[in-house]
Amino acid sequence: MSEITIYHNPACGTSRNALALIRNSGTEPRIIHYLETPPTREELTALIEAMNIEVRSLLRKNTEPYEQLGLASDTFSDAQLLDAMLAHPILINRPIVITPLGTKLCRPSEEVLTLLPHAQQ
């Protein structure tokens, strides 16, 4: 099993670039297509805690459900924001990368370089 995991959306250029950088370090990561296999509430909460970010920081803003649900309003609790991301996984920003060196939302994709245990080849 790989020591690196990426929550990936193949339609996203940033996610594809991060995946390419991981592979270029000589590792084939465990790839989770999170739109097809969304994280559970517990997994999503653990990812947010591991990244040491606010729930809102993981929310993807430039997508249709964000506007439809009125998520720009600061009246939503963390639990409500989690509910929205679980109901609409497209709202989860990506790529999220987990390595032995940490867990990070890799935007821009070059952020993944700080997490890779092996140098680029």
Q: Which residues are the active-site residues?
A: 12
Q: Please check whether residue 99 is in contact with residue 44, taking contact to mean a CB–CB distance below 8 angstroms.
A: no
75: which residues sit within 8 A by CB, 6+ positions away?
none
- Residue 18 carries which side chain, given as an amino acid letter? A
Exposure class string for 18-31: b at 16+ Cβ within 10 A, else e: bbebbeebeeebeb
Cα–Cα distance for residue pair 25/114, rounded to 1 Å: 12
